[in-house]
Structure 1
Amino acid sequence: MPPEEKLSAKVSTAASDMASDIGTFIRTQRENAQVSVRQLAERAGVSNPYLSQVERGLRKPSADVLNQIAKALRVSAEVLYVQAGMLEPSDKSQVRDAIVTDTAITERQKQVLLDIYASFTQQGESIHEECPTDDDGQA
């Protein structure tokens, strides 16, 4: 197989893997929210067969469709964009990830919590910069 075809096959496989990953993630979020495929499709404004194909990794949704699905699942669109490979993940934070993926709170509540968390972490960084430690970790 010529190098160009090998590269094309790798890209095709990678794209398929990404579609599968986002589909699996959406299915998991849907199941956690105890919503049927039909209910999610209706809430997101997409067809039931299309959503089923997305969940099975047969179709890769657009950013607009991901946004609609995110709203319907009450999760951050950013999380879906990252899962789909459309956006680079921000600094890893278990707290941030937990807030963003929590299905028990609204998008507005998530944003408020994220803002508060960001202010606390920035404040912590400022204190750390003002109060440097010596080599033994003592102030």
Structure 2
Amino acid sequence: MNFGRQVGEIIRRQRELAALPMRQVAGMVGISGPYLSQIENGLRAPSDQVLRNLAETLGIPLDDLMDESADDDAAAEDAFKEVIKADPNLTAAQRRAILEVYSSMVAATRSQRQTRD
């Protein structure tokens, strides 16, 4: 999946700078060690609340993590769109339809996230 590799690296670096074991940080945040490992490796996207808890626990400004997360989201969206546009197995109409559905799903997810915040 590769979500948030930069976010995960920031979290790992800050945890290591604080000389905190992964299990301890996970416990402080209220998540499992394997889940934190997946976040640090960019394999899982943390919820907004987990991201807030990690930022608070590690003393990282939440905006720094959110900005990186937004950059990762934008890059993933662009990459997906480029793959669809370049697929020779799709007609122009199919490409437009997929991109429209994708864009509406992304907008709905963003709206839900903002409502939760």
- TM bracket (short chain): 0.5 to 0.7
Name the counterpart of 1:115. Answer: none
- Alignment pair present for 1:61 and 2:53: no
What's the TM-score once normalised by structure 1's chain length?
A: 0.47
Displaced runs of 4 or more, over 6 A: none
Residue in structure 1 matching 2:64, options 59, 66, 79: 79
Return 5+ residue gaps in structure 1 as ranges. Answer: 1-11, 87-139
Name the counterpart of 2:13. Answer: 28
> Aligned partners of 1:50, 1:41: CA distance in 2, in Å?
8
Q: Any conservation in 1 of the 2:4–2:68 contact (CA below 8 Å)?
A: no
> Aligned partners of 2:50, 2:18: CA distance in 1, in Å?
19
Return the letter of the residue paired with 2:34: P
> Aligned partners of 2:28, 2:64: CA distance in 1, in Å?
18
> Aligned partners of 1:30, 1:85: CA distance in 2, in Å?
21
The number of residues matched between the two structures is: 71
Residue in structure 2 matching 1:42, options 5, 20, 27: 27
Q: Work out which structure has the larger RCO, using CA pairs closer than 8 Å and 6 or more positions apart in sequence.
A: 2
> Aligned partners of 1:68, 1:61: CA distance in 2, in Å?
10
| Deviation of 1:50 (Å) | 0.3
Percent identity, please.
Answer: 39
> Aligned partners of 1:85, 1:44: CA distance in 2, in Å?
22
- Larger helix fraction of residues: 2
Name the counterpart of 1:114. Answer: none
Q: Higher Cα Rg: structure 1 or 2? A: 1
Equivalent position SS for 2:4: helix
| Deviation of 1:59 (Å) | 0.4
What's the TM-score once normalised by structure 2's chain length?
A: 0.56
